[in-house]
Structure formats: structure tokens, C-alpha cells
Amino acid sequence: MLITGVSSGIGRELARQLARRARTLVLVARSGERLDALREELLALNPTLGVWVEQCDLSQPEHVDTLLDSLRRNLIRVDVLVNNAGMGDYGLYEQESWPRIHQMVQANMTAPLLLTRRLVRRMVERKRGGILNIGSGGGSAFVPGLAVYAATQRFLDGFTEALRLELLGTGVVVTQVAPGPVDTGGDEAAQPPEGPLAAWLRIPVARCASEALAGFERAEPLVYPGRAHRWMMRLAALLPRRTKRAVWLPAARRLRYGTAQLGPAHPESAPGLLLAGGPGNVRDEA
């Protein structure tokens, strides 16, 4: 079982919970120090667990190839792949640096594609396995300040849904998790400003991980951790695009001008309550 982005947040909690039920874990993150600390923690609680750590910057495709070659040389077979690592930034698109944009695209899109491409074929041959993709509820929202991040999450959503259909009947399970606000203990990347409902939607990271794994074990196609977030996402799916634009327009104005009430009303600026205030899983764990 291979898990990316385990240095903090949801990835680290997934590793902790999976350590109680897996025989071997392959832990991948950029920080070698955090990898070693997590390895020691897991072995202290589960002495018979096999733990293999790989320090890897997933925003560099050549590093992904090196990771996979290392697994092959050491005869490590991956039955379950957890694509959790990701990166996110908050700000106006024209002010983002291109290297950072490219890094996000590589980490959030290219890395899951490469890992899945190299590992899923053997799963199909063995007629068993699983792909668990950790995305974000922000992928289906119109979030000003997160244009690139939201775009990468929509890509992951489309990829996961199509891949699931392709693999039906092969014995390989494909599940996507789209969290809302998650309390990670403050050890993740800086979060964007949150809307008035964020505190109501927020859940502990342990609950997020446990609901994600429970949905994966039930072979669910899409998991929204947290009851309030789940109902909010189902409601949002019923809203027309025009309404969604109106809902997020005040946030866009605040981002651009520092206020939501500058200038004449836009045709799509009908009053609306900010539903969630940004994705719950903007992380920096590539």
C-alpha cells in the first residue's frame, strides 16, 4: 500500500489508520525528517508492520520515475495506491508566479497520472487492488483566488470518474474523496479566508480519514467526509451555474478590491450566502 503526502494532515492520518490493518506501507513525502518520524511512530505502535519510506518531490516527474524504479528494484508490490499529495496557493491568478503554477499542475495532476499509470496495470493483471484519490470539495466550486488549484481538482474528479468506469469488473476499486474544511492541527499550507459556514462544516482530520477509508472499503465512487459537508455538496450540485457565480462574487470582489461592495451591481451579483469559503483540503504535501 503506497500513500503520498504523508508528512502532515490527511495523508499522515491515513497512514496512522492504515497501519492497523495493512501488512506493509510505502510512505512518500518531500520531508525526509517527517518521514523518519512517522516511520518510528508507526513501528512503535505496530512492531510487525513493514514500513518503507521514500523521500520524493512529486512535482518533479523524474523523481516519480525514480520512486517507482526503486520499488521495482526492491520487489515491492503495490496493491493499493493512495494519491493524497497536493499543493495549493491563494491569490489572484495574474499575480501567481508561473513556476509555482507549473509546480501545482505537476503535483496535483501529473503525479497521480504517472503513479496510477505505472501501478494500475499490475492490479488489473492480478484482478485485485485499489486507487484512492484524495481531492477537494473546492474542485466543484467557483473559488476566487484558487483558480489553478480548483482546476487541478476538477481534473482529478474527471480522471477518477472515467477511470472507475474503465476498471469496473476488473477487481480494482477506484474511489475519490472530496473533503470540506478539515482541522489538521495547523500543520498544512496556509489556508484561504473562510466563509461563515466553515466552522460548522469543519471536521477533525481523524474523522476525515476514517470516513474516507470506510467509503473506499465499501467501493463508493465519491466520499464527502462529514455529514454537514456531504449535504452541502449535494445541495450545491443542484444549483445552476449562474447562482454559483453569484454566491462567489462577493469573495471575488473582496479578493480584488478588499471589499464586496465596489461599483454598480453586476447582473450576476444577486445576494447570496458564501456556502463554504474555499476548499477544505488545500495542502502542500507534494
Active site positions, annotated: 149
Angle, CA 194 vertex, CA 188 and CA 196 arms, to 5°:
140
Q: Give every CB contact of residue 7 below 8 A, 6+ residues apart in sequence.
A: 29, 30, 31, 34, 35, 38, 285
Task: Note whether 57 and 32 are within 8 A (CB).
Answer: no
Beta bridge partners of 121: none
Instruction: Give 96's contacts (C-beta < 8 A, 6+ positions apart).
Output: 89, 148
Query: In sequence order, what are the residues at sequence separation of 6 or more whose Cβ sits closer than 8 angstroms to the Cβ of residue 223?
Result: 175, 176, 177, 178, 211, 212, 215, 216
Q: Return the C-alpha cell found at 205.
A: 482530520
Q: Where does residue 186 fall: left (phi above 0), alpha (psi -120 to 50 degrees), or beta otherwise?
A: left
Within 8 A by CB and 6+ apart from 43, the residues are 49, 51
Show the cell assigned to 200: 460548522
